[in-house]
Structure 1
Amino acid sequence: MGDDYADLILQNCSLINVYTNEIQEKIQISIKNDRIAFVGEDASHTLGPKTKVLDVKNKHVCPSFVDPHIHIDHFVTPAEFVKKSLLHGVTSLFPDSIDIVSVCGYRGFKEFLRQTENLPMRFFHTIPGGLPVDRKFSHGKTLSIKEEKQAIDLRSVVGLGEVFSWTKVTKRDPKTIKSLKQMHENNCIINGHTAGASGKKLNSYIASGIFSCHEPINYDQVLERLRLGMWVMIREGSIRRDLKEIVPLVLSKKIYNNRLMFCSDGVDPFDISNIGHIDHCVRESIKLGMNPIDAISIASRNCFDYYKMGSDFGGIGPGKVADILILDDYKKIKINKVILGGKIVVSNGKIVAKIHTPKVPTWMKKTVKIPKLQPKSFNVTSKNNVETVNIILMRTEIVTKKSSADLDVTNSNVTASYDKDIWKVAALDRTFGSKTKTVGFLENFGADIGAFASTWSFHENDMIVIGSNESDMADACNKLTKSQGGLIVVKDGKTLASLPFQLGGILSTDPIDKVTKNFTKINDVLVDSGCKFKKPHLMPLFLPFLALPDIRILYSGIVDVKSRQFIPTIQTKL
């Protein structure tokens, strides 16, 4: 009304209005504190002696971007992640920090939330809803119903993260049902994970009050979920990129897009540095023929509408929080400035806000609890000359299949076979210090190395090592224990590439540019040495992942996921 003066006025804006699907020319936007006070053609009544005026010179102005489902407890600390994500116009994240809980429990969850405080980014956390993945086999730490209730009361928590597997809902797993009930009673959003669900099973899952999913990989799956009232997060991240399979048909079929969102589900350091984040989703959708205003709405307003925060976020209007992008090119999403809560945090491709890195507590840097290993630690003993063994056949970096092979026995030890491309693979308990491990065999890796090991794996966080010989396997594991986590490639006792993960064994405390360099080298070394897959780092990451078929390995045993049974390393002879 002009009773007080604005802190900042943006003049000569070409406003991309996500409420009316139009571009308004010569608009002025007045901002007081962190809120928008006025949007219109003449904001002169809000101009005071101390008001800062920014002439955007007819550049396009739109709401900033949101990632509604992302795992950020990977690779780098939140502070380092923000340094890249902000540059891509993202000012709000909805993290599902499932792996930090798997390693560090509720205490770790609270500390991870603290790591996101006072950063120039909005973090709306969800409580991990995917643990345990399978109660029969999973051994990672999880949250009790009581701890989930305590987490709901934390200031930055908005609901429950992806609930998988969906069979826990359709089969009424007691703890899952109690968790869902508690979330509903506290007016929390619950995110979904419906890979493989359809028909009555999908109906049942949705009827429980779970209204979103980021798992559809094609148009038919998207359409089925939209028809049943779900919100769909189109995933475009480092592990899966589904945009090109979905957007063209959404456009050609003229499906409503008001329940569509973009999400990454997780983005690695290389991709966020070289490809982008949610800005990439908007750019690619425009290239595929989507109206730019629709693409921007999907990346902003729709996300906050889903999370029931539309009264505060997601658009440019009076009373809304002033999270704004100024674009040099709105079709190519070339970002000139990023405004967060009325403050400029990015200008001309550089972050101008201060980013303070919180100190990591010592106990979160001591999570790899494995005593020193010897080559014989990886022996598979036998009194025969040849043994028929069960094999984890790698069809992709992620997808496995059960197979078998005959392997020679040398000095009472069943050995790997270079000629057959059969490797030893082991999972070790590195979280609880039980000294428990499982040694099995893996086929179709192909790299000319001694061993490749990792302390980060979905969502059990065993130490996983793939090796051609026991000596290098022991060496790789011992080096990771000494560094308290990471990825490492060794050959003949020499380290070829390494990426330390000092925090919980799953996050590096190093600067993101250094992490990106080390991460890239890990994959390059493995690919250059003959690995058959483009992203070898995904192999140890997914080998214990019980939400996917067919064969997985944990420190407690080798699991046939479909039959939900442990299988032996050496086949039992009839």
Structure 2
Amino acid sequence: MHSGMVEPFEAVAPRLVDVAMGRQKADLVVRGARWVNVHSGEIIPETDIAVVAGRFAYCGSDASHTIGPDTEVVEADGRFVMPGLCDAHMHVESGMVTVTEFCRAVIPHGTTSMFIDPHEIANVLGLAGVRLMHDEAVKQPVNVWVQMPSCVPSAPGLEEGGAVLGPDDVAEAMGRPAIIGLGEVMNFPGVAGNDPKMVGEIAATRKANRTVGGHYASPHLGLPFHGYVAGGAEDDHEGTRMEDAAARVRQGMKAMLRLGSAWYDVAEQVRAITEMGLDSRHFILCTDDCHSGTLVRDGHMNRVVRHAISRGLKPMTAIQMATINTAEHFKLEREIGSVTPGRRADFLIVSDLAELKIDAVYGRGVRLAGAGRLEADMPAHAYPDSAIDTVKLGKRLSTEDFAVKAPSGAGDTVEARVIGVVENQAPTKALTAALPVRNGIAMPDPAADICRIALVERHRASGDVTNGFVSGFGYRGRCAMASTVAHDCHHMIVVGTSEEDMALAANRLGEVGGGVVFFADGAEKALVEMPIAGLMSNERAEIVAEKADRLIGAMRDAGCTLNNAYMQHSLLALAVIPALRISDKGIVDVETFSLVDLFV
């Protein structure tokens, strides 16, 4: 398996041997490095590293025998040479940009391998969307492997998206060059209950000797957890507690610890290593979801590694968790994850290991970035028209579409279920509240931080709107935000304090073909257009980040103080993570995987 512009090992092995022996000359030699050896856990001084045909050929004390007149020689001057960083689980669409733009943003931060699950675009465009992402991935100057989405839709019976994928689709996808495994299996009750679709998809993946990604989003570690593990999932990034990480590793899974734009799950779970003393070989770092602003300003996997070090890990351990551990998990340790002969020459020159100060980034032996700046030319790529026109509302929405009718016979107040946002975590709370009733309409309660939420169906132009209530955004005054990024079925989520602004925001996204928009007092305050499947922009990452900054600013001006509230907004329809969500079918109790009435 390989992706992009690198020849298979077997095609170039004789050249690697000849360079190592001095019979041929290297394309590139890095001299005088401190070699960060993630296999032995050592930092070896005064090391020379020779590269030919995009792969490491020699790592040792003296590579002078590999240097010829055409060999590029780079003096490390005692700086560290370490493997390029790997993101073990992530969604490109969360960056609001295409694969190409995502790579453009993260390469200067040292990321040279990504394992992407395109289940966002799959829920809109089906297998055709996966093919589009796959074909873009293989063009990149770094390694982008694709996990075949497993749950489209993510919660059958509780939601209906734009597509349905099954075992036959998974089996067909496993023959594609950059497909590395099965994306996160979110239907954990289905696995524990031997649902034929889940059983068939996992079997097709295991038959192809690919890796099965996990997603067990329940805090309960009883029999359903054991049934899920027995069903074949090999990793999980949904843990939030030390005991979650320990439980997964003890069952033979890899615990993926994530630090995204809004998910801060490393600090607590890394204690399984620093305090419990568990073997770090079975822990992996990832981001899951990072929006463009985080990528442009704060970094990517370098940010995660730094954070892990700050929480008590040794630098070598944190680096192993973002390199060789990931490579071994995906059966790619012969290709990536270390600076050793035969592997792809994806490496970083680093002047400060603990702070991960990256001076240069190389991919397949080619310098791609230096001092935080991209130097490589990125491949041109355009999405077809079929991926653009995907927001179909069916009608122009009005304020009446967002009014919540109280039950017949209700008095001055009514008891309603409320989705409670939990800052910096994906789970929500299942709350209840007594809400006022006016003229037969259940009203939000701004004083109690309860506003409206609506899900607008946007795949089949049905005009259907599901209404509910949400708490935690802190909005004041008249405002609303709408987004066609609504994991995982990606209808449109609208959250607001007034029906008027909610209608304005929803209709605006219908006009521009998707994205996210914020209205206050009847005026548009921020807009990020995402016309590709309603999920991704066709603009540069820096431009998208600027627009996202305006969005965050508008939310703050309206009273929202949540860290990365856009990410929290986008997950309110994710009907596979407890406790309470909204879907096109109604309010979902994810603890019982059932639809429940809005009013108690």
Question: What is the TM-score of this pair, normalised by structure 2?
Answer: 0.90
Residue of structure 2 in register with 1:378 after alignment: 402
Displacement of 1:457 after TM fit? 0.7
Distance 1:194 1:531, change over 3 A: same
**Retained in 2: the 8 A contact 1:426–1:555?**
no
Distance 1:16 1:532, change over 3 A: closer
What SS is found at the alignment partner of 2:92? coil
Displacement of 1:6 after TM fit? 0.9
Picking from 120, 132, 148, the partner of 1:127 is 148
Given the alignment of the two structures, is residue 392 of structure 1 paired with residue 418 of structure 2, yes or no?
Answer: yes
Given the alignment of the two structures, is residue 349 of structure 1 paired with residue 372 of structure 2, yes or no?
Answer: yes
Residue by residue over 1:276-300, the C-alpha shift from the partner in whole angstroms, topping out at 9 and shown as x without a partner, is 2221222233333433222222211
Residue by residue over 1:160-191, the C-alpha shift from the partner in whole angstroms, topping out at 9 and shown as x without a partner, is 01112322111101110011111111111101
What SS is found at the alignment partner of 2:528? strand
Separation (CA, whole Å) in 1 of partners of 2:55 and 2:563? 46
Residue by residue over 1:415-441, the C-alpha shift from the partner in whole angstroms, topping out at 9 and shown as x without a partner, is 445556543322111112122222233
Residue of structure 2 in register with 1:42 after alignment: 62
Matches within 5 A, 1:420-459: 421-447=449-475, 448-459=477-488
Amino acid at match of 1:82: C
Residue of structure 1 in register with 2:494 after alignment: 465
Q: CA RMSD in A?
A: 2.2
Separation (CA, whole Å) in 2 of partners of 1:376 and 1:96? 37
Residue of structure 2 in register with 1:257 after alignment: 280
**Retained in 2: the 8 A contact 1:557–1:566?**
yes
Separation (CA, whole Å) in 2 of partners of 1:117 and 1:444? 41
Distance 1:208 1:441, change over 3 A: closer
Distance 1:389 1:432, change over 3 A: farther
Separation (CA, whole Å) in 1 of partners of 2:344 and 2:61? 20
Residue of structure 1 in register with 2:302 after alignment: 279
Picking from 84, 103, 109, the partner of 2:105 is 84
Amino acid at match of 1:348: A
Distance 1:3 1:172, change over 3 A: same
Displacement of 1:558 after TM fit? 2.2
Comparing 179-188 with 228-237, which one deviates more in the overlay? 228-237
Residue by residue over 1:324-343, the C-alpha shift from the partner in whole angstroms, topping out at 9 and shown as x without a partner, is 11111122111111111011
Distance 1:236 1:388, change over 3 A: same
**Retained in 2: the 8 A contact 1:436–1:556?**
no
Displacement of 1:390 after TM fit? 2.4
Residue of structure 2 in register with 1:24 after alignment: 44
Residue by residue over 1:455-476, the C-alpha shift from the partner in whole angstroms, topping out at 9 and shown as x without a partner, is 1111011111123332222111
Given the alignment of the two structures, is residue 160 of structure 1 paired with residue 182 of structure 2, yes or no?
Answer: yes
Matches within 5 A, 1:135-284: 135-140=156-161, 141-195=163-217, 196-284=219-307
Residue of structure 2 in register with 1:511 after alignment: 540
What SS is found at the alignment partner of 1:134? coil
Picking from 98, 111, 123, the partner of 2:119 is 98
Separation (CA, whole Å) in 2 of partners of 1:200 and 1:419? 42
Residue by residue over 1:314-372, the C-alpha shift from the partner in whole angstroms, topping out at 9 and shown as x without a partner, is 11122111111111112211111111101111122221110134112112111110121
Given the alignment of the two structures, is residue 319 of structure 1 paired with residue 342 of structure 2, yes or no?
Answer: yes
Matches within 5 A, 1:513-528: 513-528=542-557
Separation (CA, whole Å) in 1 of partners of 2:413 and 2:27? 76
What SS is found at the alignment partner of 1:507? coil
Given the alignment of the two structures, is residue 5 of structure 1 paired with residue 25 of structure 2, yes or no?
Answer: yes
Residue of structure 2 in register with 1:498 after alignment: 527
Distance 1:322 1:420, change over 3 A: closer
Displacement of 1:494 after TM fit? 0.7
Separation (CA, whole Å) in 1 of partners of 2:255 and 2:356? 23
Separation (CA, whole Å) in 2 of partners of 1:284 and 1:463? 33
What SS is found at the alignment partner of 2:325? helix
Picking from 533, 556, 561, the partner of 2:585 is 556
Residue by residue over 1:167-223, the C-alpha shift from the partner in whole angstroms, topping out at 9 and shown as x without a partner, is 211110111001111111111110112233524433332233322112222322222
What SS is found at the alignment partner of 2:306? helix
Separation (CA, whole Å) in 2 of partners of 1:423 and 1:293? 47
Amino acid at match of 1:132: P
Separation (CA, whole Å) in 2 of partners of 1:434 and 1:505? 17
Comparing 528-537 with 501-510, which one deviates more in the overlay? 528-537
Separation (CA, whole Å) in 2 of partners of 1:221 and 1:391? 28
Residue by residue over 1:359-415, the C-alpha shift from the partner in whole angstroms, topping out at 9 and shown as x without a partner, is 1211211111012122233334568674625242424355132424343333x6554
What SS is found at the alignment partner of 1:124? strand
Displacement of 1:20 after TM fit? 1.5
Distance 1:46 1:418, change over 3 A: closer
Distance 1:237 1:378, change over 3 A: closer
Distance 1:202 1:460, change over 3 A: same
Separation (CA, whole Å) in 1 of partners of 2:301 and 2:55? 23
Which structure 1 residue ranges, 5 or more long, are not aligned?
none
Picking from 391, 397, 421, the partner of 1:368 is 391
Separation (CA, whole Å) in 1 of partners of 2:449 and 2:68? 74
Separation (CA, whole Å) in 1 of partners of 2:174 and 2:220? 28
**Retained in 2: the 8 A contact 1:392–1:552?**
no
Separation (CA, whole Å) in 1 of partners of 2:258 and 2:405? 45
Displacement of 1:445 after TM fit? 3.9
Distance 1:326 1:442, change over 3 A: closer
**Retained in 1: the 8 A contact 2:246–2:272?**
no
Displacement of 1:532 after TM fit? 5.4
Residue by residue over 1:25-66, the C-alpha shift from the partner in whole angstroms, topping out at 9 and shown as x without a partner, is 221111111111111122222222211111111211111110
Which structure 2 residue ranges, 5 or more long, are not aligned?
1-20
Residue of structure 2 in register with 1:57 after alignment: 77
Displacement of 1:97 after TM fit? 1.1
**Retained in 2: the 8 A contact 1:490–1:496?**
yes
Comparing 339-348 with 200-209, which one deviates more in the overlay? 200-209
**Retained in 1: the 8 A contact 2:452–2:467?**
yes
Separation (CA, whole Å) in 2 of partners of 1:470 and 1:289? 48
Amino acid at match of 1:169: V
**Retained in 2: the 8 A contact 1:192–1:212?**
yes
Picking from 501, 507, 514, the partner of 1:478 is 507
What SS is found at the alignment partner of 1:508? coil
Separation (CA, whole Å) in 2 of partners of 1:203 and 1:95? 26
Aligned residues: 570
Separation (CA, whole Å) in 1 of partners of 2:172 and 2:256? 28
Given the alignment of the two structures, is residue 488 of structure 1 paired with residue 517 of structure 2, yes or no?
Answer: yes
Separation (CA, whole Å) in 2 of partners of 1:260 and 1:369? 42
Separation (CA, whole Å) in 1 of partners of 2:270 and 2:593? 36
Residue of structure 1 in register with 2:438 after alignment: 409
Separation (CA, whole Å) in 2 of partners of 1:135 and 1:242? 28
Amino acid at match of 1:151: A
Comparing 127-136 with 82-91, which one deviates more in the overlay? 127-136
Distance 1:227 1:381, change over 3 A: closer
Separation (CA, whole Å) in 1 of partners of 2:549 and 2:538? 17
